[in-house]
Structure 1
Amino acid sequence: MEYIRRAIEGIIRKSDATFKCILVTGARQTGKSTMLKHIFSDRGYVSLDDPFVEDQARQNANVFIALNPPPVIYDEVQRAPDLFRHVKIKCDESESRGLFCLSGSQPFELMKNVSESLAGRVSIIELSGLSLREIVHDAFDERFLPTVEYVEKRNRTAKPVENIWKIIHRGSFPELQNEEVDWSIFYSSYVKSYLERDVRQLSAVQNLDDFRRFMIAAAARTGQMLNYSNIANEIGKDLTTIRNWISILEASGIVYLLEPFSNSVLKRAIKTPKLYFRDTGLASYLTRWLTPETLAMGAMGGSMLETFVVSEVLKSYSNAGMDYRYCVSYYRGKDNGSESEIDLIIEENGILHPIEIKMNSSATADQTSAFRVLDKIQDKKRGMGALVCSCPQPGMLRDNVMLLPYWFI
Structure 2
Amino acid sequence: MTYINRDLEEKIKSASKEYACILITGARQVGKSTVLKRLMDDNREEVLLDDIEERKLASKDPALFLQMHSLPILIDEVQYAPELFSYIKMAIDKGAAPGSFWLTGSQPFKLMELAQESLAGRIAIIHMPSLSQHEIYGNDKTEPFSVDLDKLKKRSKINKPADLNEIYRRIWSGSLPGHISGKYTDRDLFYSSYLQTYIERDVKEIADIDDTMIFSDFIRSAACRAGQMLNVSDIARDVGISNDTAKRWLKILEKSDIVFFLRPYSNNLLKRTIKTPKMYFFDTGLVAYLTRYSSPEILANGAINGAILENYVVSEIIKTYHNNAKECLIWYYRDTNSNEIDLVIESDGMLHPIEIKRTASPGTELIKPFKLLDKASVPRGKGAIICMKETLSAVDSDNYIVPIWMI
Q: Tell me if both proteins adopt one fold, taking TM over 0.5 as the criterion.
A: yes
The structural deviation recorded for 1:350 is: 1.8
The one-character-per-residue Cα deviations of 1:200-224 (angstroms, maximum 9, x if unpaired) are: 1101112111111110111011000
- 1:148 matched to 2:149? The reply is yes
| Structure 1 equivalent of residue 301 of structure 2 | 297
Match of 1:255 in 2: 259
91-100 or 351-360, which deviates more: 91-100
**Cα RMSD (Å) of the superposition?**
1.3
* Cα-to-partner distance string for 1:92-138 (whole Å, 9 max, x where unaligned): 11152111010011223312321332222111100000000000142
Paired residue for 2:9?
9
* Partner residue in 1 for 2:214: 210
User: Which residue type is aligned with residue 338 of structure 2?
Assistant: E
Select the residue among 171, 176, 188 that pairs with 1:173.
176
1:155, 1:389 → 2: CA distance?
14
Whichever residue aligns with residue 332 of structure 2, its letter is Y
CA contact (8 A) 2:138 2:159 kept: no
- Write the distance in 1 (CA, Å) between the matches of 2:157 and 2:236: 48
Moved more, 55-64 or 24-33: 55-64
Q: Match for residue 273 of structure 1?
A: 277
Alignment TM-score, normalising by the size of structure 2: 0.96
The Cα shift of 1:240 comes to 1.1
Q: How far 1:67 moved relative to its partner?
A: 2.0
User: Aligned pair 1:19/2:19, yes or no?
Assistant: yes
Amino acid at match of 2:95: S
8 Å Cα contact 1:232/1:242 also seen in 2: yes
**Distance across 1 between alignment mates of 2:326 and 2:342:** 21
Letter in 1 for 2:168: W
Please name the residue that 2:243 is paired with.
Answer: 239
- The secondary structure found in structure 2 opposite 1:46 is strand
CA distance in 1, matches of 2:125, 2:306: 34
1:114 is matched with 115
The C-alpha deviation readout for 1:300-325, integer Å capped at 9, x for no partner, is 1111110000001000001111022x
1:384 to 382, 385, 389: 382
Distance in 2 of aligned mates of 1:151 and 1:191: 36
Partner of 1:346: 345
Q: Aligned equivalents of 2:213 and 2:159: distance in 1?
A: 43
- Maintained 8 Å contact 1:392/1:405: yes
- Cα deviation, residue 381, structure 1: 1.4
SS at match of 1:404: strand
- Asked if 1:96 is matched to 2:94, the reply is no
User: CA–CA distance in 2 between the matches of 1:96 and 1:47?
Assistant: 22
Question: In the TM superposition, what whole-angstrom CA distance separates every residue of 1:234-262 from its partner, at most 9, and x where no partner exists?
Answer: 21211111111110000000000111101
Contact preservation (8 Å) 2:352, 2:381? yes
Partner SS, residue 86 of structure 1: helix
Structure 1 residues 55 and 95: alpha-carbon distance in aligned structure 2, compared to 1, 3 A threshold: closer
Give the match for residue 332 of structure 1: 334
CA distance in 2, matches of 1:150, 1:342: 23
State the alpha-carbon separation in 2 of the partners of residues 155 and 136 from structure 1: 12
Kept in 2: contact 1:140–1:154 (CA 8 A): no
CA contact (8 A) 1:22 1:124 kept: yes
Deviation >4 Å, runs of 4+: none
The residue that corresponds to 1:126 in the other structure is 127
Counterpart residue type for residue 318 of structure 2: L
Give the Å deviation of 1:329.
0.4
Deviation track 1:4-44 (CA, whole Å, cap 9, x = no partner) reads 11001111111111111010000000000100001113321
> Residues 389 and 403 of structure 2 are in contact (CA less than 8 Å); yes or no, is this contact kept in structure 1?
yes
Aligned partner letter, 1:2: T
Q: Is the CA contact (8 Å cut-off) linking 2:3 and 2:181 kept in structure 1?
A: no
Following superposition, the deviation at residue 186 of structure 1 comes to: 0.4
Greater Cα offset, 264-273 or 296-305: 264-273
Q: Could you give the per-residue CA deviations for residues 355-397 of structure 1, whole angstroms, max 9, x where no partner exists?
A: 10011212111012111101112x3211111101110101011
CA distance in 2, matches of 1:408, 1:255: 23
Counterpart for residue 191 of structure 1: 195
Distance 2:202 2:56 in 1: 19
3-state SS of 1:257 partner: strand
Q: How far does residue 153 in structure 1 lie from its aligned partner after superposition?
A: 2.1
CA shift for structure 1 position 297 = 0.6
Match in the other structure for 1:368:
367
Partner of 1:50: 51
Question: Which sits farther off after the overlay, 38-47 or 296-305?
Answer: 38-47
Instruction: Please name the residue that 1:284 is paired with.
Output: 288
Aligned partner of 1:125: which letter?
I
Does the Cα contact within 8 Å between 2:138 and 2:158 map onto a contact in 1? no
Please tell me the residue identity of whatever aligns with 1:365.
Answer: T
Aligned residue pairs total: 403
Q: TM-score, normalised by structure 1?
A: 0.96
Counterpart of 1:332, as a letter, is R
Contact 2:74 2:103 in 1 (8 A): yes
Amino acid in the other structure paired with 2:218: F
Unaligned runs of 5+ in 2: none
| Per-residue deviation, 1:177 | 1.4
Q: Kindly state the Cα deviation for residue 158 of structure 1 after the two structures are TM-superposed.
A: 3.0
**Quick one: structure 1 residues 23 and 178, their matched pair in 2 at CA, closer, same or farther if it must change by over 3 Å?**
closer
Distance 1:247 1:360 in 2: 34
Q: For 1:48 and 1:34, locate their aligned partners in 2 and report how far apart those are by CA, in whole Å.
A: 15
How far apart are 1:268 and its partner, in Å? 1.4
SS at the partner of 1:156?
helix
SS of 1:206's equivalent in the other structure is coil
Structure 1, gaps ≥5 residues long: none
Match among 298, 311, 323 for residue 307 of structure 1:
311
Tell me, yes or no, if the aligned pair for 2:142 and 2:155 is still in contact at 8 Å.
Answer: no
Structure 1: how far apart are the matches of 2:46 and 2:138? 27
CA distance in 1, matches of 2:232, 2:54: 41
